[in-house]
Structure 1
Amino acid sequence: MLALGIEGSANKISVGIVDEKGNILANPRKTYNGPPGSGFLPKETAEHHRANILGLIDEALAEANITMDNIGLICYTKGPGMANPLSVGALVARTLSQMFEIPIIGVNHCVAHIEMGRLVTGAENPTVLYVSGGNSQVIAYNEGKYRIFGETIDIAVGNCLDRFARILKIPNEPAPGYNIEQLAKKGTNFIELPYSVKGMDVSFSGLLSHIEKIADKYPPEDLCFSLQETAFAMLVETAERAMAHCNSNEVLIVGGVGCNLRLQKMVQEMLEERGGMLHAMDERYCIDNGAMIAYTGLIQFLSSGGMKLNDCIFTQRFRTDEVDVTWRNK
């Protein structure tokens, strides 16, 4: 059985095709980026997705060397995400389902990141550090759900990095966070910044406000270096605390910020002290992609069936712990 997945919850539109064994047959992607100093707005992002999605479907089918007649399931991102971009994927998925009479299923974006990580790395039951532009959560599986042990109480770490990149007019291509990472490698002077961990939760808004105020007083390299070190230390602390609570000895990093090699190294150093193991990925699978939606939709469909067309909506708010994880043993 082959599944086609459509991901378009933020500034990336992607179409993935996978089989029941988790083999990724195709996974093309296109990214919308605004000029330096700007972010991506819902209207323009949705227009980008509409302009590219049909071409990506053709590209994915050609790469997999199949046609729509070979597809047994249509999967799409139900949420969370930005409403306008989400609407594009949902509309195209519903249309394909009706045109070709193929079952359809909506997928939680966050859970899809976790399942892609488990598939690619082989991690069985890790503590999950989920870090992206819209989400920052520490997660562990228990009793049929992915439980959130800690999260940001304001903005996500990726959003913090992106907004600071706008202050410094750092280019958005290939990604603001990636460009901050490269500048940070050249930083030598650590600037003390607000460090806000509240129990199992973190807060990045005060950190961002403070560094914005001093952005013209220090070299960009030192600012980026200090921002990364502080924000990532907060995440590592909460991840380690969740590991102790769950009696876990492995961490899986997922989400777009999970590509950051400095973050991976900091988590690795923490795990070495605990005798644990790190599971990490590169940009092919950390960053939003259609294959993660296709694979998660497929295992969800095989365990609990599809969805009625009228239930195939999209929503900006869809928490990780709302999903019944029927495909895993309780």
Structure 2
Amino acid sequence: MVFLALGIEGSANKIGVGIVNGDGEILANPRRTHIAPPGSGFLPKETADHHRAHILDLISEALSQAQVTLSNISLICYTKGPGMALPLSVGALVARTLSQLYNIPIIGVNHCVGHIEMGRLVTKAENPTILYVSGGNSQVIAYNESRYRIFGETLDIAVGNCLDRFARIINISNDPAPGYNIEQLAKQGKNLIELPYVVKGMDVSFSGMLTFIESIAKNHSQEDLCFSLQETAFAMLVETAERAMAHCNSNEVLIVGGVGCNLRLQEMVKDMLKDRNGKLHAMDDRYCIDNGAMIAYTGMLQYQHGDRMELIDCTFTQRFRTDEVLVTWRS
């Protein structure tokens, strides 16, 4: 019998369902995105309503793409956290229901570790320094002694959240994503505006830069503002990633998380790696952005290496740090 894992991801504004087989082959990975009006961000209740409206159709779509039925599924996986409580609750509830109805084992997955393992699967990176950049998280990570150790992180808001909030300030559309639209405007920027650059050891801070750029937004073009914000924020991240590489004696970087789709960020990391004779591992939006397959694959790794969960323990939490997870599947 073929081992099949079904994963549900819904920690933020995307709801996705993925199906992966025991060899790590992605058989299906559909998703839907809740898009808020320009000038606003996605709110927990509206996002949860969106997820409830789409999750059953997504499960049917994923099963159809994979050409299987729920009776063929060997493991149900869902995002346990971190994330927004109400959206997380939708995935957790549906996962628990499917587990009980079809008598299928269930596993809760750390969202951040899911991103990392999807990156390792898709890019074949073996032991990279990891730059994890998304709407809710900004961390520099390396594996050591059965944990993904956080070497540095944001002291306040994540880089993706910084970009999203800036998009609201200048009223940029959230369709398909505020960060993507900022990236396109930044390509037309010609003047680099000096912004606060805050790196403290291995950590970064973006809130001061966001406050400052809001105060000067009326005095500059959108293109120059987007260009300057990207260049400054990404330079901070590249600096901390390079410092972690030196500490770990690493020569490769894996970028994961939604902001990892940004081609300018990838280019800046690649330029840094040239001086170190290093290699960049990066992905496109199919796998960088939140998706169900990353949860299915990571849950399968956990299960295959002895992790088990009782239904009573299949809860969700807004706070679930990357380094809390015991990584039993890596030596």
Decide: shared fold, TM above 0.5: yes
Aligned counterpart for 1:234 among listed residues 222, 236, 244? 236
Deviations 1:23-72 (A, max 9, x none): 00000000001110000000000000000000000000000010001100
For 2:185, give the aligned amino acid.
L
Distance in 2 of aligned mates of 1:209 and 1:272: 34
Aligned counterpart for 1:200 among listed residues 186, 199, 202? 202
| Equivalent in the alignment of 1:118 | 120
Distance in 2 of aligned mates of 1:199 and 1:304: 37
| Equivalent in the alignment of 1:297 | 299
Deviations 1:132-173 (A, max 9, x none): 000000000000000000000000000000000001110001
After TM superposition, give the deviation of residue 20 of structure 1 in Å. 1.1
| Equivalent in the alignment of 1:285 | 287
| Equivalent in the alignment of 1:221 | 223
Are residues 1:30 and 2:32 paired? yes
> Once the two structures are aligned, what percentage of the paired residues are identical?
79
For 2:25, give the aligned amino acid.
N
TM-score normalised according to structure 2 size: 0.99
Deviations 1:253-279 (A, max 9, x none): 000000000000000000011000000
Helix, strand or coil at the partner of 1:214: helix
Are residues 1:11 and 2:13 paired? yes
For 1:325, give the aligned amino acid.
V
Aligned counterpart for 2:95 among listed residues 69, 83, 93? 93
Distance in 2 of aligned mates of 1:234 and 1:20: 39
For 1:112, give the aligned amino acid.
G
Deviations 1:199-224 (A, max 9, x none): 00000000000000001100000000
Distance in 2 of aligned mates of 1:86 and 1:52: 14
Distance in 2 of aligned mates of 1:253 and 1:46: 28
Runs of at least 5 residues in structure 2 that lack an aligned partner in the other structure: none
Are residues 1:323 and 2:325 paired? yes
| Equivalent in the alignment of 1:181 | 183
Helix, strand or coil at the partner of 2:217: coil
**Which segments of structure 1 move beyond 6 Å, counting only runs of 4 or more?**
none
Runs of at least 5 residues in structure 1 that lack an aligned partner in the other structure: none
After TM superposition, give the deviation of residue 308 of structure 1 in Å. 0.4
After TM superposition, give the deviation of residue 305 of structure 1 in Å. 3.0
After TM superposition, give the deviation of residue 304 of structure 1 in Å. 1.7
